[in-house]
């Protein structure tokens, strides 16, 4: 088992997988930050100490909070498939340089996507981030299926 | 590491995992397609070039877009657990025929689920797709826990 | 391949991964249960046999259903990163006792989170569940990145 982590290819996968997972995980505290600063909560128990009037106000949705939540969901929709495909792709034994190219472009594209989404940068910033990541995952999926296919 | 991909069982897992991941990933462009054809966007920057009046119209939700989004979320809720459990199940070394049965039923059930959901086919099409996938994942989880349990 | 499952560390990972995946998977039927008992559905085909008047009522959202759905989404946002990071962490070969501590705290924290969320327990029950899980995943991510980093 320890051998796997002596392999440069698997270490590269591990590094970039951990980076994008941590990026995705940080959307949680970011949502909490927006909920508190914008005063927009989803659950009655989160505003239990306030008066009934204030509770009503605090339980409304806020566009900034919804924006961060959409960004988080988009991460789940794209980073999770990346993790699955990238693991299988790594196990097919591609060239290290080719794998690094895939991983780096993906990590960069998702960071661009997050910044574009949360800061509401003008299009096509967000779309470029999304499609770059999509193309990387598709390219790896193609390699996996063309190498390993066993139906 | 290369040995893993010479194993028929692991190749079968890889193939079906890649298929359901690609299916899930395609929900992204499908959502974009529905957003554009139905004229229903979630972000102000996506309709930046339109007049204020048109923007208001384009930022409303549309039932068809919401339907695709629910289908996508359901994929995340079911395909992601499948990927985790199926990897562990494969590593417990089940019979190839038994593994293939699980993987094929799951892939078929999720394709049925997606078609039923997006095309709004009459029930119980969608429920059958959902529960068939659910039973496959549960059956594999049972095998994993009964073989490996180490608390 | 079979060797992996003879390793106590990997068996511990497999056990706790399977437990939290099954927990997450059970949120699906729980949502269905709340939808049926609260009479709150999302799709027109789910209420096809009812009269137009009843359909309108049954297609409204219900706070209890939305609560379970938020809990399910929070599981996806936190359990999925855990699965990825915990697999990589296990492959870096940590001490068994240290790994077990991480896995047990995480599993416990997510069960606490689910109960707190679904039953709307007073805060900070849910937040404690959330942050305990968050800290476990972060701690494992730190170990992974500090051991393996290969950019």
* First vs last C-alpha separation in chain A: 28
CB-based contacts of A63, cutoff 8 Å, min separation 6: none
Task: Indicate the SS3 state at residue A50.
Answer: coil
Choose the closest CB to B88 out of C18, C25, C42: C18
* Angle at CA of residue C10, ends C7 and C13, nearest 5°: 150
- Distance (Å, whole) CA C21 – CA B49: 44
Residue B44 pLDDT? 87
Residue B2 pLDDT? 56
Choose the closest CB to C120 out of A5, A45, A80: A45
Choose the closest CB to B17 out of A88, A147, A149: A88
CB-based contacts of C115, cutoff 8 Å, min separation 6: C121, C125
Better-predicted residue by pLDDT, B27 or C149: B27
The structure tokens listed for C26 are 């059970």
- Distance (Å, whole) CA A75 – CA A79: 5
Q: Do B25 and A70 touch (CB under 8 A)?
A: no
Query: What does the pLDDT look like over B30-62, one tens digit per residue?
Result: 999 999 999 899 998 888 888 888 888 888 899
Q: Do B76 and C76 touch (CB under 8 A)?
A: yes
Residue C123 pLDDT? 86
Q: Per-domain residue ranges for chain B?
A: 2-148
* First vs last C-alpha separation in chain B: 28
* Chain B interface mutation, best of C10, C13, C25, highest count of B Cβ atoms under 10 Å: C25
Q: Do C148 and A5 touch (CB under 8 A)?
A: yes
Residue B131 pLDDT? 95
Question: Is C91's pLDDT higher than 80?
Answer: yes
Question: Which CATH number, 3.80.10.10, 2.40.110.10, 1.20.1050.140, 1.20.120.550, labels domain B2-148?
Answer: 1.20.120.550
Contacts of A11 in chain C (CB under 8 A): 148-150
Query: What does the pLDDT look like over A46-78, one tens digit per residue?
Result: 888 888 888 888 888 999 999 999 999 999 999
Contacts of C21 in chain B (CB under 8 A): 81, 84-85, 141
- Distance (Å, whole) CA C19 – CA B141: 9
CA B121 to chain CA centroid, Å, is: 18
Choose the closest CB to A84 out of B42, B73, B83: B83
Q: Collect the ranges in chain A with pLDDT lower than 70.
A: 1-2
Specify the CATH number of the domain A7-28+61-148.
1.20.120.550
How far A101 CA sits from the closest chain C CA (Å)? 11
Question: Which ranges of A40-124 would DSSP assign to H, the alpha helix?
Answer: 52-58, 63-91, 96-118
| C86, closest residue in chain B (CA to CA) | B84
CB-based contacts of C70, cutoff 8 Å, min separation 6: A42, A43, C117
Residue A52 pLDDT? 86
Task: Indicate the SS3 state at residue A7.
Answer: coil
């Amino acid at each position: 088992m320890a051998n796997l982590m002596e392999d440069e290819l698997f270490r590269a996968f591990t590094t970039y997988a951990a980076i994008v997972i941590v990026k995705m995980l940080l959307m949680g505290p970011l949502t909490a930050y927006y909920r508190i600063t914008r005063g927009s909560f989803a659950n009655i128990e989160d505003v239990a100490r306030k008066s009934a009037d204030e509770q009503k106000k605090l339980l409304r949705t806020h566009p900034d909070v919804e924006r961060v939540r959409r960004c988080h969901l988009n991460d789940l929709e794209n980073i999770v498939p990346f993790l699955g495909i990238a693991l299988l792709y790594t196990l097919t034994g591609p060239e290290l340089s080719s794998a690094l190219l895939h991983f780096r472009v993906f990590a960069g594209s998702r960071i661009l996507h997050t910044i574009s989404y949360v800061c509401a940068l003008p299009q096509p910033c967000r779309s470029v981030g999304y499609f770059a990541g999509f193309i990387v995952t598709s390219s790896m999926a193609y390699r996996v299926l063309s190498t390993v296919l066993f139906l």
